[in-house]
Amino acid sequence: MTQDSGHKVSIKIMDKEYLIGCPDGAEAELFASADYLDKKMREVRDSGKVLGLERVAVMAALNISHELIKSKEQQREKVEERIQRLGEKIDHSMARMSASENIDSND
């Protein structure tokens, strides 16, 4: 979400209200993002290991960033596996076609 958007939307994170710029039609995404951030910040705060709102926010941001990086890596691995499987299928099909052509030419 960028702050230079069309209209302002009020969100609440850790019992503090923020007025955020939001493009038309993106309110649901903004609210979902705010809810997710609020949940993650409360998890960090409730762990009792981090004090202060700013530190809680930084730790929550780091956790969310880590989740995003892991998710992207998992998606990349899935794509690579699928590409490898498709390559194997192509190789098998090509081998079958080649074998079939060899049989036809020997007749």
| CB-based contacts of 6, cutoff 8 Å, min separation 6 | 21, 22, 23, 24
Q: Can you list the domains of the chain with their CATH numbers?
A: 7-106 (3.30.160.880)
Question: Does residue 4 have a pLDDT over 80?
Answer: no
pLDDT given at position 6 = 74
The H or E element spanning position 17 is strand 16-22
Q: Are 24 and 9 in contact (CB under 8 A)?
A: no
Q: What is the distance between the alpha carbons of residues 52 and 55, in angstroms, rounded to a whole number?
A: 5
- Among 2-6, 40-44, 47-51, the minimum mean pLDDT is found in 2-6
Structure tokens at 61: 């941001």
| Of the candidates 67, 19, 20, 3, the residue with the CA atom closest to the CA atom of residue 39 | 67
What is the C-alpha separation between 101 and 107, in angstroms, rounded?
10
More confident residue, 107 or 25: 25
Give the SS3 label for residue 78: helix
Each residue's pLDDT tens digit, 47-106: 988 889 999 999 999 999 999 999 999 999 999 999 999 999 999 999 998 888 777 666
Q: What is the per-residue pLDDT for 99?
A: 83
